[in-house]
Structures are given as structure tokens and as C-alpha cells.
Amino acid sequence: QLQLVESGGGLVQPGGSLRLTCEASRSVLNSYVIGWFRQAPGKEREGLSCISSLGVNIDHTEHADSVKGRFTISRGDAENTVYLQMNSLKPEDTGRYYCAANWNPNSPVCSMLPHYRYWGQGTQVAVSS
């Protein structure tokens, strides 16, 4: 069983930045595909970004059109950490942010559909002046 814990959420003004952290209970490098999702009140869970490993220091990433150019998914120095850097935040980015994982070693693709087995509890992000 893989445990995931998100952190880094908070209240930020429009145009501001936050970095979310997804910490896994063990290494996810080269073995798990990681996705970041957002759920706003009254809305369905939305896929934002995902990352998979093609090999040593080679990652495949994808970003939803709604966040492309503003959000960046990346790995931390620790093999159990994945970040979501969020810049130029807008009020519509408000919601609860979740990371998720699927076992898929050396996958050339990743998915932003919510068909992941492992989920964290989420961290709240509010963008407001």
C-alpha cells in the first residue's frame, strides 16, 4: 500500500504562487505514475498535471490546457517527492488539490483521468484578494 501526503496549500492573492508537495511513503521514481488533480466545490475532479519516468533522469510530463504555462510538475531530490509549482494563480484555481499514483514502471505516458489507485487526502488552495 502506498500512502501519499499533500502539503503546501493556503490562501494566496491572484497572480501569486504556491508550490504543492506530494510525499509518498516510498520511492516513486521509475515505478509510479503521479498525477495532480483539483476539485472545486460542486465540480468534478479535474486532472491538472502528470509525470511518468522513462528512465534515469528522463521524465514525461503533461499539463491540462487550463494550467499550461502556469503550473509545472516536477520531481524533488528525494525519490518519494513530486511537486506542483503553481504561478499566476487565478480565483478559478481555488479548490482542493490531490496527488494520486499508479504503479506503472518506466511508462512513456501518464494520464490526467482520475483512474488512479492511490490518493492523498488533499491540500486546500484558495485564491482570493
Residue indicated by cell numbers 510525499: 23
Rounded to an integer, what is the distance from CA 38 to the centroid of its chain? 9
**Beta 10-12 vs 71-75: how paired, if at all?**
unpaired
Which H or E run contains 122?
A: none
Q: Which residue is associated with the grid cell 533522469? A: 57
Give tens-digit pLDDT for 34-80. 999 999 989 999 999 999 987 777 889 999 999 999 999 999 988 99
Encode pLDDT of 73-119 as tens digits. 999 988 999 999 999 999 999 999 999 999 988 888 899 999 999 99
Decide if 79 contacts 28 (C-beta within 8 A).
yes
